[in-house]
Chains A and B, each alone.
Chain A
Amino acid sequence: MTSLAQLFFDAAALGGIYAMAALGIALIFGVMNLVNFAHGEYIAFCVFALIVPSTDAAAVMFLGKAPALLLIPLILTIGALVAMASEYVVFRHMRKASPVAMMISSFALGFIIQNALLAVYGGRPKAISLWPELNTPIDIAGASVPLLQLIVILTTLAVVTGLAALLRKTRIGLEMRAAAENFTMARLLGVRANVVITGAFALSGALAAAVALIMVTQTGVADVRMGGHIMLVAFIATVIGGLGSLPGAVAAGFLIGAASVLLQAFLPLDARPFRDAFLYTLVIVSLLVRPQGLFVPNSAKPRV
């Protein structure tokens, strides 16, 4: 029987990954009302940047060979660059488009990235072993917790506090918050639109890269489709948390992680394969109770 402490660490670690992915989506939504369907593909891109491009079944490390101190900043930078490039190539030309049009084009962009990866790396999932020693369990409070889970929890806390500090204390953070509140007004008051949006994309891409590193270490697999599921959960977290609300996205990410772990632990065996179906049904129910999400930002109220 799994102990309570074990469940807690599982939930916190899974929730942490979801929260980081959700933050990446909420950041961009807050600034430019774009629901970025390409976010999951940023994650997959960063994973595949670790290995040598080939369609062979065995993965050969490429960037992944670098020592961690070098690798982490490198991958974060790659994530940020991919996100900034997608903004520059696609979304910069859609500043006046409706949120729906931008959402569809991000969906198309995600599809392009995914198929490009498929063409280069082939469709079969590949085994990668990145930092395998992080999966060795250690004993805390009666639970055996892989070191990685602790790292994930601590990283999430660090990212959230770091982001909060960035948003509150720096000029670009202030501009981002102003843009999230009311973009037109912020521009009139001298906020540099392109800088803010590019900054948001860079942060979002770096978050995607962090999620990618964690997922690779945890699962040991590189799969072109690996971003899809986590992106869907992240979307749902941003909607449950209240579209555009960053604390809401984090809280909802943890909430979904917890719900997922609890369902896995307490559903009858026959029903376990359907866990995700139960999870998404819970999500729709929670949206029925609070259609605006748990935390409603001021900017979400329509102005007439």
Chain B
Amino acid sequence: MMNKHARTRLLAYSTPLILSAILLALVVAVTLFGDKALARMAAETLIRVVLVVGLWIFAGNSGVISFGHAGYMAIGAYCSAWLTLKPQMKALFLPDLPAWLAGAEWPMLPAALASGGLAALVALLSGAAILRLTGIAASIASFAFLAIVNTVYSNWEGVTGATSSVVGLERYVDQWVALAWAVAAIVVANVYANSGSGLALRATREDEIAARASGIDMYRHRLLSLVISGFFTGVSGALLGHYIGVLNPDNFYLGITFISLAMLVVGGIGSLSGAVTGVLALSILIELLVRGEQGVGIGAATFALPGGTQEIAIGVVMILVLILRPSGLTGGREFRLARPAWPKPAPRNQIKTN
């Protein structure tokens, strides 16, 4: 007979199973019944899952909002481009790369892992500085980090191509590749959140001072979570690069920062299920709005939403959620097979929230 605590912790591991099953069902349905455009949309959505779950590993557990994650994405995306582009292309467009990098022609998977690794390394170095700050000051310092990355990548002509885009990345990312990484991110996020370090970090999120008084070294746990988070964010950048095929520093600036934070907040920043729910909900909304902006034919007339509707609508949804349901659609709860009897009875329709 297990005690209640052990049972709760064991049940926590059902969350990634449920989330992965939802994503798998989505991909299977799209592959069987959807057209090519729908399959691409599914791939893009799953890349966003990797990104937002990566962001959640840090922001969700520590309660510190990071504006710097688009920077880790850029680092991962460009690293993968350096490793996988054809040497002739690199000699032409990125002449200042060091010789060993200019000649590199790595397979895709090791390149993606290396991109995540480089982003994690940068997360370790930048986090070592930024996380000495707390709360809002840390958020603003992470914004400064994003500006540093953007300035460097927009001006380092011979290595990043500066503002002229890097083209010719092999577009190998389809919905199945993205699904594999999304599941990996979800599993790691869940294991980390339920590890000793993850629980300690969530204690600091609830009450910094009480957690410190209980002997929790906040800095160390935040840094560890930022490194794991940086890895998956870097991978999501690499995936996005190989999904679009073109890289530009401004792809990894305020726009994507806004979208990823919106997804996290709308779904509910307190839980992993919230992060995934937010991505799915907003991706569907974005898709509808994009189709709306392209125009919908009703009878003979075509109705099109004006350009920019998409961003404005997402902003409005985000503010409404923050005002009306501050803890997001999932309310900070996880999808689980069954809830333990404590602390309160299971709310209805839990899984149907997306």
- Chain A residues with CB under 8 Å of chain B are 35, 90, 93-94, 97-101, 103-105, 107-109, 111-112, 114-116, 118-119, 228, 232, 235-236, 239, 243, 273-274, 276-277, 280-281, 283-285, 287-288, 291, 293, 302, 304
CA distance A112 to B313 in the complex (A): 8
Quick check: B209 and A105 within 8 Å, CB to CB?
Answer: no
- Residue total for B at the interface (Cβ-Cβ under 8 A): 42
Pairs A-B, 7 closest by C-beta atoms: A119-B308, A112-B315, A273-B155, A115-B311, A108-B318, A280-B144, A277-B151
CA distance A205 to B147 in the complex (A): 25
Quick check: B155 and A109 within 8 Å, CB to CB?
Answer: no
Quick check: B151 and A276 within 8 Å, CB to CB?
Answer: yes
CA distance A46 to B284 in the complex (A): 34
Return B57 CB to nearest CB of chain A, in Å: 17
CA distance A232 to B139 in the complex (A): 12
28 contacts between A and B (CB under 8 A): A94-B322, A97-B326, A98-B326, A100-B135, A104-B265, A105-B319, A108-B322, A109-B315, A111-B311, A111-B315, A112-B311, A112-B312, A115-B315, A116-B308, A119-B307, A119-B309, A232-B144, A232-B147, A239-B140, A274-B152, A274-B156, A276-B151, A277-B148, A277-B151, A280-B147, A288-B129, A291-B134, A304-B209
Of the candidates A99, A236, A284, the one whose C-beta lies within 8 Å of that of B129 is A284
Quick check: A119 and B306 within 8 Å, CB to CB?
Answer: yes
CA distance A281 to B135 in the complex (A): 19
Quick check: B151 and A101 within 8 Å, CB to CB?
Answer: no
B323 within 8 A of A: yes
CA distance A172 to B322 in the complex (A): 30
CA distance A274 to B154 in the complex (A): 9
CA distance A228 to B139 in the complex (A): 16
Return A22 CB to nearest CB of chain B, in Å: 12
Of the candidates B137, B262, B323, the one whose C-beta lies within 8 Å of that of A291 is B137
Of the candidates B63, B145, B156, B318, the one whose C-beta lies within 8 Å of that of A280 is B145
Return A108 CB to nearest CB of chain B, in Å: 4
* A-B contact sample (15 more), CB < 8 A, given A103-B65, A235-B140: A35-B136, A90-B319, A90-B323, A94-B322, A99-B136, A104-B265, A108-B262, A109-B315, A111-B315, A112-B312, A115-B308, A239-B140, A277-B152, A285-B129, A304-B209
- Chain B residues with CB under 8 Å of chain A are 63, 65, 129-130, 132-137, 139-141, 143-145, 147-148, 151-152, 155-156, 209, 254, 258, 261-262, 265, 306-309, 311-312, 314-316, 318-319, 322-323, 326
Quick check: B148 and A108 within 8 Å, CB to CB?
Answer: no
Q: Chain B contacts of A235 at CB under 8 A?
A: 140, 143
CA distance A293 to B322 in the complex (A): 29
Q: Chain B contacts of A243 at CB under 8 A?
A: 136-137
Quick check: B133 and A287 within 8 Å, CB to CB?
Answer: yes
Quick check: B322 and A239 within 8 Å, CB to CB?
Answer: no
Of the candidates B136, B143, B144, B319, the one whose C-beta lies within 8 Å of that of A109 is B319
Residue on A nearest B253 in the bound complex, by CB: A228
Quick check: B322 and A104 within 8 Å, CB to CB?
Answer: yes
Q: Chain A contacts of B322 at CB under 8 A?
A: 94, 97, 101, 104-105, 108
Residue on B nearest A273 in the bound complex, by CB: B155
Quick check: A239 and B137 within 8 Å, CB to CB?
Answer: yes
Quick check: B319 and A276 within 8 Å, CB to CB?
Answer: no
Q: Chain A contacts of B144 at CB under 8 A?
A: 232, 236, 280, 283-284
Of the candidates B139, B307, B315, the one whose C-beta lies within 8 Å of that of A103 is B139
Q: Chain B contacts of A239 at CB under 8 A?
A: 137, 140-141
Quick check: B254 and A228 within 8 Å, CB to CB?
Answer: yes
Q: Chain B contacts of A97 at CB under 8 A?
A: 322-323, 326
CA distance A130 to B323 in the complex (A): 40
CA distance A276 to B146 in the complex (A): 11
Q: Chain B contacts of A293 at CB under 8 A?
A: 137
